[in-house]
């Protein structure tokens, strides 16, 4: 499918860096028959050898479930831990500011087109070195932060958004997450062992007119960056988004607003097709003086969101910290009850219809 990157990309974006600050362009490729059994000697029933028994009625065919998502030709587990793909780090840049609580990095790896992924999938990374038992480190899964074309638009790279894990344990010792620190410390040219791609839960809807509500906390923004690049930064012959994309991003401080410049550019490009809401918990409050978590921000639009959730072309995607789903349930329970609907049962129906998709950790 010929495709083209069309946006004037932010100056820090990988594609802009690769092209000296200019926009990037590219071309991208996407009845059972049983043998007749003879009767054994000794069977007492009289059987005619000149008549053919009528065949048993065929069992009704089970209806084939057709997915509402872009799952045609999706590849999974092409590369496994024993035989990973070895790519190279092309770019590793810090996203968060100096006053952010922790570091989050955006990194781009070469794949030469050998790791064919879709928006919403994940890859595994195996850190260099060995664990305390002398065995290779176990892989860690990360949501892919780039569209299938990749940040450079040539379908030969994959990008991740990774927060460096550093904490102090009960004994007062500073502990560093093995894989996150390995990734955040990578220098351009370094090799990276990649597995996957994996996952179908977070694939985009087929319907280009769908309403897609994206709920992210922190690095849970990764799959939605991949969605939104496809929607607003690229042109495809077989896909043009004409629906509503609504992103809610929750972070602790303004210095941790990941990809803010990109998303604001998408607002300019998308117009009425893109809505953007940030929730900055340590800096913002609602009218009642409560901290502005993602569910607090959503509560400001709760009636509108509930009306959207009653439509069969609305899809919710959630990625980030595990506790976020409960906060959203708390908003919807009372709204649904006003319409005589049990929210938990209704959410189960949405999940069955592929309209409620969750990837939390």
| Contact assessment for residue 275 and residue 243, using Cβ atoms and an 8 Å cutoff | no
Residue tagged active-site, from 143, 159, 180, 226:
143
259 is catalytic: no
Residue tagged active-site, from 119, 234, 262, 359:
359
Task: Confirm whether residue 72 is marked as ligand binding.
Answer: no
Name the one residue in this structure whose structure tokens are 């997450």. Answer: 177
Instruction: Using the Cα atoms of residue 216, residue 316, residue 358 and residue 195 in order, give the sign of their dihedral.
Output: negative
Give the E-state strand segments of the chain in sequence order: 3-5, 85-94, 104-110, 122-126, 140-143, 157-163, 166-168, 174-176, 191-198, 211-217, 234-236, 244-251, 274-280, 314-320, 356-360
Collect all residues with Cβ–Cβ distance below 8 Å to 169 and sequence separation of at least 6. 175
Task: Confirm whether residue 143 is marked as ligand binding.
Answer: yes
Task: Confirm whether residue 282 is marked as ligand binding.
Answer: yes
Task: Confirm whether residue 281 is marked as ligand binding.
Answer: yes
Task: Confirm whether residue 177 is marked as ligand binding.
Answer: no
The three-class DSSP label of residue 305 is helix
| Contact assessment for residue 68 and residue 207, using Cβ atoms and an 8 Å cutoff | yes
319 is catalytic: yes
Task: Confirm whether residue 153 is marked as ligand binding.
Answer: no
142 is catalytic: yes
Residue tagged active-site, from 79, 117, 142, 293:
142
Task: Confirm whether residue 320 is marked as ligand binding.
Answer: yes
Collect all residues with Cβ–Cβ distance below 8 Å to 181 and sequence separation of at least 6. 164, 165, 166
Residue tagged active-site, from 161, 179, 184, 319:
319
333: left (phi over 0), alpha (psi -120 to 50) or beta: alpha
Task: Confirm whether residue 43 is marked as ligand binding.
Answer: no
Task: Confirm whether residue 252 is marked as ligand binding.
Answer: yes
Bridging pattern class, strands 244-251 and 211-217: parallel
Task: Confirm whether residue 54 is marked as ligand binding.
Answer: no
Helices (H), the chain: 14-18, 178-184, 222-228, 260-270, 294-299, 302-309, 324-338, 343-352
Task: Confirm whether residue 163 is marked as ligand binding.
Answer: yes
Residue tagged active-site, from 67, 114, 290, 361:
361
Rg of the Cα atoms in the chain: 25
239 is catalytic: no
CA distances from residue 45 to 40, 49, 93, 211 in whole angstroms, order as listed: 11, 12, 82, 66
Positions annotated as catalytic residues are: 142-143, 319, 359, 361
Q: Which residues belong to the annotated binding site?
A: 143, 163, 219, 251-252, 281-282, 291, 320-321, 359
Q: Which residues belong to the annotated binding site for NADP(+)?
A: 143, 163, 219, 251-252, 281-282, 291, 320-321, 359
């Amino acid at each position: 499918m010929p495709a083209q990157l069309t946006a004037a990309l932010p100056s820090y974006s990988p594609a802009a860096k690769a092209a000296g600050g200019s926009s990037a362009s590219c071309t991208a490729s996407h009845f059972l028959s049983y043998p007749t059994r003879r009767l054994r000697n000794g069977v007492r029933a009289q059987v005619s050898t000149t008549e053919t028994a009528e065949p048993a009625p065929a069992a009704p065919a089970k209806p084939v479930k057709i997915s509402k998502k872009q799952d045609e030709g999706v590849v999974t587990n092409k590369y496994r831990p024993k035989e990973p793909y070895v790519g190279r780090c092309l770019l590793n840049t810090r996203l968060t500011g100096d006053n952010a609580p922790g570091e989050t990095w955006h990194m781009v790896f070469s794949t030469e087109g050998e790791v064919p992924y879709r928006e919403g999938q994940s890859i595994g990374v195996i850190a260099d070195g060995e664990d305390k038992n002398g065995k290779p480190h176990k892989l860690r899964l990360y949501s892919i932060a780039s569209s299938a074309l990749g940040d450079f638009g040539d379908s030969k790279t994959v990008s991740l958004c990774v927060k460096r894990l550093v904490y102090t344990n009960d004994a007062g010792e500073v502990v560093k997450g093995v894989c996150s620190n390995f990734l955040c410390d990578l220098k351009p040219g370094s090799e990276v062992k990649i597995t996957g791609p994996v996952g179908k839960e977070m694939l985009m809807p087929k319907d280009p007119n769908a309403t897609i509500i994206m709920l992210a906390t922190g690095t849970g923004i990764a799959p939605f960056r991949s969605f939104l690049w496809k929607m607003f930064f690229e042109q495809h012959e077989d896909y043009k988004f004409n629906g509503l994309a609504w992103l809610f991003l929750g972070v602790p401080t303004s210095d941790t607003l990941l990809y803010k410049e990109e998303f604001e550019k998408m607002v300019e490009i998308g117009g009425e097709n893109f809505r953007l809401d940030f929730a900055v918990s340590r800096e913002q409050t609602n009218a009642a003086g409560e901290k502005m978590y993602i569910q607090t921000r959503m509560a400001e639009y709760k009636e509108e969101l509930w009306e959207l959730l009653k439509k069969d072309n609305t899809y919710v995607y959630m990625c980030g910290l595990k506790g976020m789903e409960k906060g959203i349930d708390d908003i919807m329970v009372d709204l649904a009850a006003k319409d005589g609907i049990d929210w938990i049962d209704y959410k189960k129906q949405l999940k069955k219809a592929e309209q409620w998709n969750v990837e939390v950790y």
